[in-house]
Structure 1
Amino acid sequence: MNRAARALLERLFPTGLEHLRARVEEVRLPAGQTVFRRGDPCRNYLLVVQGSVRVQVLAANGREITLYRVRDGQSCVITTACLISVEAYPAEGVTEVETDALVVPQPVFEQALGSSAEFRRFVFANQGQRLGDLIRRVEDVVFGRIDVRLARLLMTLSEQGVRPIATTHQQLASELGSAREVISRQLKQFAGRGWVGLGRGVIEVKMPAALDELARQSD
C-alpha cells in the first residue's frame, strides 16, 4: 500500500479500528475503466487516493453530460447517496487516468460511520461540498450561456491559451452538457472571429485575450 493510501486509512480508521481498516482494499485502475454503470447495485464506498474518475449520465437520445470528477482525496457523492439509500447507481463512473483508490465494503462503511468520528466527518463534509458543486453544475448547464461557458472551458483546457487542446466537439459537448451540433456551431463562430483555429481533434486558441474577456462575462 502506498504512503498516501496508508495515511488516509490511518486518519479515517484510527487506533482501535484496525479490524475495519484491514478490510479496506487498495486497487489500481487503468485509464478508461468503468468503475460503475447505471443500474449497478452499490456495494462499496470508493475513495480516490490519486487519479480522476469522471461521473457522467448518458441520456436515451445519446447525449452525455459530465456531472463532476472525483479526484485525489475525494469520494463520489452518488456512491455515498446510493449506499445510504440502498439504491442502484443512476449514473456511470469512468477513470480518466490511472487511478489508485480505496474500496470500503458496505458493511465496513456502515460500521465506520458509527465507530469513527473522523470517518463520519469526512463522509458528510465531502458529501456537503460535492452536493454544492453538483447544484452549481446543474445551474450552469440549465441557465448559463453556451458561448460564455465554452470560452471558459477552452481557456481552462488550453491553460489560458498557451497550449493546443486535444479534444473533439463531442467531448466538449459532453463536458458542457450540450449537443455536439451546438458546440460545433459556436466553435465555428469563434474561428470566424479569429479567436481559435480548428483542426482534426485539436483546437488552438489564437486570441486568448478575446476569449478571456468573454469567459469573464456574467451568464
Structure 2
Amino acid sequence: MNTPPSAAEIQQLDALYPALAALPPALHDTVLTRQTAWLSVPAAATVFEEQSPCQGFPLLLAGEVRVARGSAQGRSLELYRVGPGELCVVSASCLFGHHLLSAHGQTTAPTRLAVLSPAALDACCAHEPFRRFVFGVFADRLAELMELAEAVAFQRLDRRLAAALLGHGEVLQTSHQALADELGTVREMVTRLLRRFERAGWLALGRERIELKDAAALRRLAAGEAGELPAV
C-alpha cells in the first residue's frame, strides 16, 4: 500500500542512508516527494518477481527482504537479505543494465520501504557520494556472493547447516523448509541432517522449533573439526 511519508520518516531514511541525506537539497526533496513510492508491505509478501522488469530501487526503513534465486525444479537459493540502511544489488544491477530481475524478493517481516523510481536513481547516482555508496555496496555483496558460491560448490551440507543454526540463540523458530531455502537444497536433506544432529544430542526438534543442546559441537562441525555423526 502506497502511503505518503511523515516528516519523521524522511528524517529516519536520511539517518539510515547518509548518502541520500548528502544530496543537494533541491534534488533530495524532489526525489523523496515526487519520485518515490512509500510502501507498507506485510510479512511473506512478494516485493519483486524473478524475470520481471524492475519497477524501482528500494530503501528500507523497517523490516527485511529476503532475496533469492529460484530454479525450474522449484528450489530456491537465498542470495542475501536487505534490512534498513542496506541496498538491493539485484534491483540496482537490473536498473543499471536495463535487463530483467535475476532473483525474487519477499518480505520476512512487516516492511516499510521507499522505492525510488528509475529516473530518481539515475539522478541520485549523478551525485558522486551517492554513486560511491551504491558501488561500495556492490563490492561488499560481490564478496558475500563469492563466499556463498564457494560454500555451495565445495562445503559439505552438514557443515553449512550447522553454521546456519548458530548465532540465533538457544531456540530457533524456523521450519525445515525455510532452512532448505536458505541453504539452496531440498527439505528432505535438511530433515535428515537435523535428525542426525538430534541423535548426536546436539539439538532437540519440535514443530517449527529447534533447541540447541550442544552449540560447541555444532561449531566444531561448522569448522570441519567434528567426526562422523550417527546415521538415521
The CA distance in 1 between the partners of 2:22 and 2:69, in whole Å, is: 30
User: What is the aligned-residue RMSD (CA, Å)?
Assistant: 2.0
The answer for unaligned runs of 5 or more in structure 2 is: 1-5, 226-232
Q: Secondary structure at the residue paired with 1:204? A: strand
After TM superposition, the structure 1 stretch with the greater mean CA deviation from structure 2, 29-38 or 202-211, is 202-211
Matched, 1:147 2:152: no
Q: 38-47 vs 4-13, which deviates more?
A: 4-13
SS at 2:178 equivalent: helix
Post-superposition Cα deviations, 1:162-203, rounded to whole Å, max 9, x if no partner, equal: 2x2222211111111112222112111111111111222222
| Aligned residue number for residue 25 of structure 2 | 15
Name which of 62, 66, 78 aligns with 2:90.
Answer: 78
Q: Determine the C-alpha separation between the residues in 2 that align with 1:11 and 1:117.
A: 13
Q: Which residue number in structure 2 is paired with residue 181 of structure 1? A: 188
1:128 is matched with which residue? 139
Say whether the 8 Å CA contact 1:37–1:91 is kept in structure 2.
yes
Farther off after superposition, 10-19 or 75-84: 10-19
Provide structure 1 residue ranges, at least 5 long, that are not aligned to the other structure.
none
Within 2, Cα distance between the matches of 1:146 and 1:174? 13
Which one of the candidate residues 212, 216, 223 is aligned to 1:216?
223
In 1, the alpha carbon distance for the partners of 2:212 and 2:61 equals 33
Equivalent residue for 2:36?
Answer: 24
Choose the corresponding residue for 1:95, options 104, 107, 126: 107
**Is residue 4 from structure 1 mapped to residue 12 from structure 2 by the alignment?**
yes
**Post-superposition offset of 1:112:** 2.0
2:208 maps to 201
SS in 2 for 1:75: coil
Q: Evaluate the alpha carbon distance shift between residue 60 and residue 120 of structure 1 in structure 2; reply closer, same or farther with a 3 A threshold.
A: same
Whether 1:40 and 2:52 are equivalent positions in the alignment is yes
Count of residues paired in the alignment: 214
**Which stretch shifts more, 43-52 or 6-15?**
6-15
Task: Tell me, yes or no, if the aligned pair for 1:31 and 1:95 is still in contact at 8 Å.
Answer: yes
**In 2, distance between residues paired with 1:200 and 1:138?**
31
* Structure 2 counterpart of 1:168: 175
Q: Identity, % of aligned pairs?
A: 36
Distance 1:127 1:191 in 2: 39
2:119 counterpart of 1:107: yes
Indicate the larger mover: 30-39 or 197-206: 197-206
How far the C-alpha of 1:12 sits from its partner, in A, is 4.5
CA distance in 1, matches of 2:49, 2:24: 32
Shift of 1:21: 3.8
* Structure 1 counterpart of 2:229: none
TM-score normalised by length of structure 2: 0.85
Residue aligned with 2:166, SS = helix
Read off the aligned partner of 1:13 and give its amino acid letter: L
- Is residue 190 from structure 1 mapped to residue 202 from structure 2 by the alignment? no
More divergent stretch after superposition (186-195 vs 17-26): 17-26
| Larger relative contact order, structure 1 or 2 (CA cutoff 8 Å, min sep 6) | 1
Where in structure 1 do 4 or more consecutive aligned residues deviate above 6 Å?
Answer: none
Alpha-carbon distance in 2 for matches of 1:34, 1:217: 36
Map of 2:3 onto structure 1:
none
Moved more, 124-133 or 78-87: 124-133
